[in-house]
């Protein structure tokens, strides 16, 4: 089986599970659930939950038992997109190839849809009975820490404050490790916890995910600089418009590409201790390096 | 010791613990932490965490061991106020007697401050070591369920959709049980879990909290109809302006007062099985019934 097919299969499993998840408990909450599902079921690459499932597979754990956890990760990611797109934030009209949440449901309902998805993720993490409480509690901590003020929300705040201000590559790296990185390392850490990894395995996987996160952000900057709305499903050229420091503005397109390739190699290397078992995770690396959206 | 003093003492303990909680881990996140602390440390009645601590005290549990949990509850409440006040929501300028978060930090940072507090609450619930994982996981579930799409966020969405539309008293009761009620029942349920309550005690306390929640909302409607910015620290008269159905619009001021008194009596009665031990919780009821803000 090649990697493209594995990724497609995982996307399909995740999409199916997501679509059965949020069912309104009352007619009075109908619009809220519609708004949450609108963004949650809008497609997207599902990289974060896929990463989580692929690590479990590699570690010999039956990943189909942990689809709720995979979906909780995607709920957090989707909430962050809804809030990022709000008029008071990036004010974007398109996301994943269709109108943003607030363009359809208005900014008040979109704010609540984001709040709802974020909160629901923690309900999901603690509602099953097949995960031991000690692991449930650990998963909540890892995900909350990654998504919270010292993680994703912190990076987002730094991003807002950095508009129209030069940042060094070191500052960018810190910002991105919070803004994008934490939500790529946390799915890997969560899988390691569920699989009862030994420290060397945990560390190797964590290192892989750190490099993958950085790779993801550099390719994001490259796409923003070189792609179009049609290809990406969201507006391109935003970084330059906002005069944001990015890997492209600081290193040039060629410099950013070189850095991306260096991170990709480091990610591959980190997986070496797993040998051939890591083939699917290895395959994810060129998929992100060469992505068009 | 009289109840007023107990409440003041609890407020003081909670405020002290809150003020030591959110310390920025990096200069790049400084503004975000400032924004979160601005609202978190703005005073307020601290009813929800106080309720949590009082139930623990009554059940003979050392409540000072669980201040992180009390603060997590207040973090969720504070986030909901920040987001409610946003320009795209109620667009309020004042809260707790001072400018709202977005008036000081802008709506983008205020949105992130809310997101940060909400997420941080779940980090807090799972970071201590004195609570067993099985209880930690249960606390996360109760609080996420109460604050999420079938709880507070759901009620908030219903509230937005009900502007300029008549709601029956039954619809109001359902909305309020989600919007306000869940965040008053959940602190009580969480304390019951920590104290290993038996079912009869758990049920009695839960029933008390349901009546208290309704009482709280009715007095909220009464205050909005009869108070002023100076007394409340936030704008009054908003419900009528938005043509919202409330207990006052549906039952009149006298009718709403009668309903409040009925709920207060029912709350008192629910505590009967605890006898004299319940004196502080009993005392909370007239405090809410007769509150001026």
Please identify among residues 191-230 of chain B the ones whose CB lies closer than 8 Å to any CB of chain A.
none
Contact (CB<8Å) A154/B116: yes
Position B128 scores a pLDDT of 84
- pLDDT bin (cut points 50, 70, 90) of residue B140 is very high
pLDDT tens figures, A172-185: 999 999 999 999 99
Q: Give me the residues paired with residue A94 across strands.
A: A99
- Region B171-184: mean pLDDT is 94
Residue A236 tokens read as 């391109």
Pick the residue with more confidence: A233 or B34?
Answer: B34
- Region B44-58: mean pLDDT is 96
Distance from CA of B49 to the nearest CA of A (A): 19
Position A230 scores a pLDDT of 67
Contact (CB<8Å) A118/B123: no
Contact B86, B102 (CB under 8 A): yes
A147 close contact with B: CB closer than 8 A? yes
Total domains present in chain A: 1
Q: Is the ipTM of this complex over 0.90?
A: yes
- Region B23-43: mean pLDDT is 93
pLDDT tens figures, A74-128: 999 999 999 999 999 999 999 988 999 999 999 999 999 999 999 999 999 999 8
B-chain residues near A32 (CB < 8 A): 149, 153-154, 157-158
Contact B211, B267 (CB under 8 A): yes
Position B162 scores a pLDDT of 87
Contact A180, A151 (CB under 8 A): no
Q: Please tell me which of the candidates A102, A115, A134 has its beta carbon nearest to residue B118.
A: A115
Q: What residues make up the domain containing A254?
A: 3-289
pLDDT tens figures, A13-32: 999 999 999 998 788 999 99
Interface mutation vs chain A, best among B30, B78, B111, B139, most A CBs within 10 Å: B111
Nearest to B66 by CA among B76, B77, B53: B53
**Residues ≥6 apart with Cβ < 8 Å to A269:** none
Give me the half-sphere count of Cα atoms (radius 13 Å) on the Cβ side of residue B254.
0
Q: Residue A163 — φ and ψ, nearest 5°? A: -60, 140
Contact B204, B278 (CB under 8 A): no
Tell me the DSSP string of A129-171: SSS-HHHHHHHHHHHHHHHSTTTHHHHHHHHHHTTTS---HHH
Contact (CB<8Å) A32/B153: yes
Position A232 scores a pLDDT of 64
The residue with tokens 């060469």 is A290
Residue B291 has pLDDT above 90, yes or no: no
CATH number, domain with residue B37: 1.10.600.10
| CA atoms of B156 and B230, how far apart (whole Å) | 25
Position A128 scores a pLDDT of 83
**Average per-residue pLDDT for chain B:** 94
Contact A270, A188 (CB under 8 A): no
Contact A185, A147 (CB under 8 A): no
Contact (CB<8Å) B147/A32: no
Count of all residues that appear for chain B in the document? 293
Position A123 scores a pLDDT of 98
Pick the residue with more confidence: B228 or B198?
Answer: B198
């Amino acid at each position: 089986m090649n990697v493209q097919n594995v990724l497609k299969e995982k996307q399909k499993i995740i999409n199916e599970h997501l679509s059965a998840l949020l069912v309104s408990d009352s007619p009075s909450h109908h619009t809220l659930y519609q708004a949450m599902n609108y963004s949650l079921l809008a497609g997207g690459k599902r990289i974060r939950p896929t990463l989580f499932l692929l690590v479990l597979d590699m570690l010999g754990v039956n990943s189909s038992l942990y689809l709720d956890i995979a979906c909780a990760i995607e709920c957090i990611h989707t909430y962050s997109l809804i809030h990022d797109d709000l008029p008071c934030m990036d004010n974007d009209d398109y996301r994943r190839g269709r109108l943003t949440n607030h363009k359809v449901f208005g900014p008040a309902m979109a704010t609540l849809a984001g709040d709802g998805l974020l909160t629901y993720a923690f309900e999901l993490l603690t509602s099953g009975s097949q995960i031991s409480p000690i692991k449930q509690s650990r998963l909540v901590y890892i995900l909350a820490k990654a998504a919270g003020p010292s993680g994703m929300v912190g990076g987002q705040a730094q991003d807002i404050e950095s508009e129209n201000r030069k940042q060094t590559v070191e500052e960018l790296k810190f910002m991105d490790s919070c803004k994008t990185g934490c939500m790529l390392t946390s799915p890997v850490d969560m899988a390691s916890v569920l699989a009862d990894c030994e420290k060397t395995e945990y560390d190797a996987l964590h290192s892989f995910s750190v490099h993958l996160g950085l790779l993801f952000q550099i390719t994001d900057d490259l796409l923003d600089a070189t792609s179009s709305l049609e290809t990406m499903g969201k507006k391109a050229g935003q970084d330059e418009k906002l005069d944001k420091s990015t890997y492209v503005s600081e290193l040039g397109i060629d410099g950013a590409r070189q850095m991306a390739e260096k991170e990709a190699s480091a990610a591959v290397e980190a997986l070496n201790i797993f040998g051939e078992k890591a083939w699917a995770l290895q395959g994810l690396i060129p998929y992100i390096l060469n992505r068009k959206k």
